[in-house]
Amino acid sequence: MTLRPRQGASIPVSDLQRASHPQRALTLHRGRASGPAGAVPPRRLREQDEINVPESAALELIDQPRPSKRHTLSRSLLPQDLPDPCVVRADGVYWVYTTNSVTMGNVPLLRTGDLQQTLTYVCDAMPTLPAWAQRGLTWAPEVTRLPNGGFALYFTARLIGTGVQVIGCALSDSPQGPFIAADRPMIEMRALGGAIDAGTLVREDGTAYLYWKNDGNAVGLPTTLWGAQLSPCGRFIGCARPLLGASHEWECELVEAPQVIEEGDHFHLIYACGEYDNASYAQGHAVGASPLGPFRKSTEPLLATVGALHGPGHACAFRDHAGEWHLMYHAWTRGAVGYKAKGKRTLRLSRLRIQGERVWTEG
């Protein structure tokens, strides 16, 4: 039996755990980590907690500018394979974290003082993996500043002995690390295929949210983007909510890598979609009036294959020193798409323009 939540329904976690299909849904564990004082890892979801399913089937679509060569021709910032970037502005510089590298470690960290300058490799921001994580499969780092001035790193790793990707959390006093991981994963969702691709939103008042994807495509189930509010000490507040799934043909039945940014009265959810290893990979966009939606999707992708740029996605939106928005992402280059073709997912940078509910890229 496969449990599929009805629209508008609230599903107690205890019901999901009793299903004959091993669909135990969300598993949030308490763990221990050394790091900034006052940082407390998240708790396990209680039986009385619920997963709220928002009304979302009849979402209005937003007309989005079609990707054009002017919008998406972006040069590689570095020749190395460095996918899934996260950009943090701190201490007067930009810190860029990426998926693991054979030569640069578990969480490669690069920096630049100016977006016009070359990125310079700094170090492995998490040189020691937790005992539960399989080496060589540390993906999609997301770093955010904590209210106490420290930093949290959310990362995807494979849980040893299971083959399942899960999300872990690590803490540090500095954006350079070293980040020290909790002794248990933060989110597992094993029965929904696992959990990957964490993203964060921290509002000006300090309210924080965590977003992620259940890795359903790994087990023949749908993929969904999820979100939950976090307390100042890192605990989950209330319910984890499914935000949206794949519905457009160009999404190829897969959504992942969510990030929400706030601009004016709108919350913009940007996400990747399609197959990462070919030209179908793209970047989507949706907009809502609150951090947990409901969100209305744009009709066209924010980024898509055009010219020599193939499979752009897993983008990170961030502000520069002047407050202007930018988008860093990875992409293949025409003629070398996919690892079988000896391709590399190299870093790209574009300006991100936001006008009301609409967003587009330039450069």
Residues annotated catalytic, as ranges: 84, 256
Cα Rg, the chain, nearest whole Å: 19
Instruction: Enter the tokens of residue 195.
Output: 């959990």
Q: What is the 3-state secondary structure (H, E, C) of the chain?
A: CCCCCCCCCEEEHHHHHCCCCCCCCCCECCCCCCCCCCCCCCCCCCCCCEEECCCCCCCCCECCCCCCHHHHCCCCCCCCCCCCCEEEEECCEEEEECCCECCCECCEEEEECCCCCCCEEEEECCCCCCCCECCCCCEEEEEEECCCCCEEEEEEEEECCCCEEEEEEEEECCCCCCCEECCCCCECCHHHCEEEEEEEEECCCCCEEEEEEECHHHCCCCCEEEEEEECCCCCEEEEEEEEEECCCHHHCCCEEEEEEEEECCEEEEEEEECCCCCCCCEEEEEEECCCCCCEEEECCCCECCECCEEEEEEEEEEECCCCCEEEEEEEEECCECCHHHCCCCEEEEEEEEEECCEEEEEC
Long-range own/partner contacts, residues 104-109 (CB < 8 A, 24 or more apart): 104/80, 106/135, 106/138, 107/138, 107/141, 107/153, 107/155, 107/177, 107/179, 108/82, 109/176, 109/177
